[in-house]
Amino acid sequence: MDEASGDPEKPAMDFINIGIAYRRKGLISGRAADLDAAAGYFEKARAIVGPGRNHKLKIKTLNNLGAVFAQTGRGQEALDRFREALAIAEQTRDREESSIILNNIGIVYSGLGEYTLSTEYYQKAIDLAASFQGKEILWEIYLDLANSQRRQNRRAEAEENYKASIAIIEDLRASIGTEDLKATYFGSDTRRDAYFNLVDLYAGQIRTNPSPEGDARLFEYLEKAKARAFLDSLEVSNIEIAGPVDAERANRERSIVREITRLYHDRLMPGRTGEQDEAFREKISDLEDRLDRVRREFRAANPEYAALRFPHIASIVEARAAFPDPGTVFLVYLIGSDASWGFAITPSMIKAFELPSRAALKASLESFLKSISDKDRQDPSVGFDLFRSLVGPAISPETRNLVIIPDDLLNYLPFEALPFSSGGRNRLIGKYTISYAPSISSLIAIRSREPGPSGRPAMALLAVGAPDIGEGPKKAAAIENLRGLFPAQAADLSPIPFAGTEIERIAALFPPNRMSLLVGPEADEGLFKSRSLMPYRILHFAVHGFIDDKNPSRSALVLSQNGKGPDDGLLQTREIYRLRTQADLVVLSSCQTALGRLLRGEGIEGLNRAFFYSGSSSVLMTLWSIHDQAGAQFMVRFYGHLASGDPITAALRKAKMDMIASPYYSHPYYWAGYILHGDGARVIFPAGPPSGVWIGIGALTMAAAIALFWILKKRNRRPV
């Protein structure tokens, strides 16, 4: 179409964009053919944009072409293209482009080992960018200069320039108005490399020359590298609860959220056309943009938001004071493209240990996940290499509790299922309690929350489950709607036969006056949102869950699809953020509720973050689709141990050990998918079980066993 327009610059821009796509593909794949294709498209653009044409387009073409040449080892050709671009930029007095090109020339000279020349060009780039406050450029120049100095073993200078790069990144990121964009900003391009490379530098130092000062430096930047958006959202949630609000903007925000909900509700109507679906997507996208703008305005207009830069990052001293138990080990991971590290942090020391390459970890992880998420596979030895690499160097005879702070692909690993012997019969959960957190600072922030005006919640449980999905055309319309919203998951709304049973069995453990149930048709979005959640210690959801990993705010728990009222029956992440809770525990007894968008350095952005933001302290989630009947059995055991006065992680461990001891449910498929994020050390019921709990547990367990026996006998098959 652009070629038919007669404007030669339009196809040139297309060629540049195609070249950029191939270049990014080549950086990920490592295939020379992709980078060669990128160079070919940039050359096509260069042939179109001749002398006297659009200077910006000419510079962009030459700069991209030089970058590809530099990445493919054609250093002199890269320098030629960069110098050609620099001449045009200087002639047109384009300081921004000039500073970028000067930095690129410095990178090429550094790669060629010409460090005197590289430093000269880096300094020119810094001076020029500083002259017009080009912070978006300066952070990268400081990072590239630090990388060059590190290769020269000029570690002190590299350290200072990494810190300069990080300071600018954090200053830029603080001015971004929404937490979602902050996370995306930090996880994009090479910004995280400034943190990672500095931590990598410090890790090498503490291994060769350990010292308290080295531990403190490493811990500071390790914490800064982990889950900054998560901390931002916790801080903002506290301010929203306590501080004054801008009524006009708050009303606009509520109005937009209501309009989004109305559109989702209208989409449930049968007989929709493709044109209507396209219009729906356009309206939703527009409303989401408006919602982001209102929230940015809100923060700019509210003095407390304007003063908010970054929440407090804990020091090593504060972390040791908050977690003094020598039996607790924090396992913190940083996965890089060239090097990866694990860190064992206890009250007395920080131990750094190198990990296998990302590619090797990925291969081992894929093999292990296949072995534990498929109940028909029986190879208990798979995963021992992961244990030796990830956990073995961190534990000691006194270790009892592991708090995992994963990174990158390790967010998908249930550590508790790792075998700690070559035979594979002994799993990690058999020795340790295990929980997960975005960072140590965020865990301290969660623990330090003050109770609401009414004190600690008095009610034990609010359970929501077995929603009414409808029958016949009504159900078909609901499924069609969800498949349109969550196409990647094929939106299965098949019944969850044991969801109601699960809730009944859990409810039997608590006095009727200390719990509330929303089951079947009453598992209604309007009923749920109209109820105050502050009085409940536990929120339990036994429903379908669907994840949108491209737009996490759309991820949802599926409630009754009855079409009543203005709600759409989807409790979306954007709505969970607006709830107010102080629950010790949220249980998402749904499929794959631990998934979401994976952000470098931030972890998985999903339903759990929304509940933390709303005020909850821990979230129990699932990594894969859980067997329905086994899930009901698991939950009864878990709640029984909770009601007996066990901390959350201890109750979770005991429930998993109960499953392992079962002749039917010992395979990790049935229990390893449950993972706990947040403050797992809490004791929800410190006074022990309500009267008659253990009698109830025994009766329920016996009843479940008898029911299972007769079901299997009737079907004339063995249990899976």
DSSP string over 552-608: GGG-EEE------TT--SEEEHHHHTT-----SEEEE-STTTT-EEEETTTEEEEHH
Four-CA torsion 548, 180, 130, 20, nearest 10 degrees: 10
Helical packing angle, 155-174 and 135-151, nearest 10° = 160
pLDDT at 496: 67
Beta-sheet strands, E only, within 84-171: none
User: How far, in Å, CA of 587 to CA of 355, rounded?
Assistant: 33
Residue 324: its pLDDT value, please? 92
Decide if 263 contacts 280 (C-beta within 8 A): yes
Domain 316-441 has CATH 3.30.70: no
Euclidean distance between CA atoms 293 and 286, whole angstroms? 11
Residues 6 or more apart in contact with residue 506 via CB below 8 angstroms: 461, 463, 540, 635, 636, 639
Nearest partner of 98 among 110, 86, 81, judged by Cα: 86
Chunk the chain into consecutive blocks of 10 residues (it has 720) and report each block's average pLDDT, rounded to whole numbers: 87 93 87 93 88 80 92 92 93 91 92 92 89 84 92 92 86 56 46 87 89 90 70 46 56 80 68 74 82 70 43 84 93 86 92 91 91 79 90 94 91 91 79 92 84 80 85 70 65 65 88 91 89 94 79 80 74 86 90 45 60 89 79 89 94 95 89 92 77 44 44 34
What residue has token string 């000029």? 154
Contact at 8 Å (CB) between 227 and 179? Answer: no
Alpha-carbon torsion (95, 100, 101, 106), positive or negative: positive
Measured CA to CA, the distance from residue 461 to residue 466 in angstroms comes to 16
pLDDT of residue 687: 67
Contact 467, 569 (CB under 8 A): yes
Strands 618-622 and 585-588: parallel
Q: Is residue 515 a contact partner of residue 537, using CB atoms and an 8 Å limit?
A: no
b/e map 672-689, b = 16+ CB within 10 Å: bbbbbbbbbbbebbeeeb
From residue 104, alpha-carbon distances to 63, 79, 144, 289 in Å are 8, 9, 9, 34
pLDDT of 714 reads 40
Q: Locate tokens 């590239």: which residue? A: 144
The predicted pLDDT at position 298 comes to: 63
Name the DSSP letter for residue 379: -
Phi/psi at 226 (nearest 5 deg)? Answer: -110, 125
pLDDT at residue 468 in the model:
79
Separation CA 59–CA 45 (nearest Å) = 11
Whole-number Å distance between alpha carbons of 146 and 188:
19
How many of the other CB atoms lie within 10 Å of CB of 565? 14
Q: Name the strands in the sheet holding 544-546, side by side, starting at the edge strand that comes first in the sequence.
A: 544-546, 556-558, 570-572
User: Which stretches within 644-692 are classed as H helix?
Assistant: 648-661
Instruction: Tell which residue, 547, 587, 589, 550, has the closest CA to residue 570.
Output: 547
CA distance 229 to 610: 12
Exposure b/e, 48-62, CB count within 10 A at least 16 = b? bbeeeeebebbbbbb
- How far apart CA 387 and CA 419 sit, in angstroms, is 7
Q: Tell me the chain's radius of gyration from C-alpha atoms.
A: 28
The span from the CA of 387 to the CA of 427, in Å, is: 10
Burial bucket for residue 149 (CB in 10 Å: 0-12, 13-18, 19+):
buried
Burial of 235: CB neighbours in 10 Å, binned 0-12, 13-18, 19+: middle
Distances (CA, A) of 103 to 121, 122, 135, 154, 359: 6, 5, 14, 19, 30
708: which 2 tokens? Answer: 């299972």
Domain 9-232, CATH = 1.25.40.10
Amino acid at 463: A
Written as six digits, the tokens of 42 are: 């940039």
Give the closest residue to 615 by CA, choosing from 330, 239, 181, 178.
Answer: 239
Q: CA–CA separation, 280 vs 266, rounded Å?
A: 9
Nearest to 626 by CA among 366, 371, 372, 367: 372
**Nearest 5°: phi and psi at 566?**
-85, -5
- pLDDT, tens digit, for every residue of 633-676? 899 999 999 999 999 999 999 999 999 998 888 999 899 989 99
- What are 674's two structure tokens? 């449950």
Query: Cβ-count burial of 494 within 10 angstroms (0-12 exposed, 13-18 middle, 19+ buried)?
Result: exposed
CB neighbour list of residue 387: distance below 8 Å, 6 or more residues apart: 418, 419, 420, 428
In this structure, whether the domain defined by 457-715 belongs to CATH 3.40.50 is answered with: yes
- Nearest-angstrom CA–CA distance, 224 and 230: 11
Query: Could you tell me how far CA 201 lies from the centroid of its own chain?
Result: 26
496 closest CA partner among 375, 584, 585, 622 = 622
Q: Can you give the pLDDT at residue 489?
A: 57
| Tokens linked to 600 | 């470098």
Q: Are 586 and 618 in contact (CB under 8 A)?
A: yes
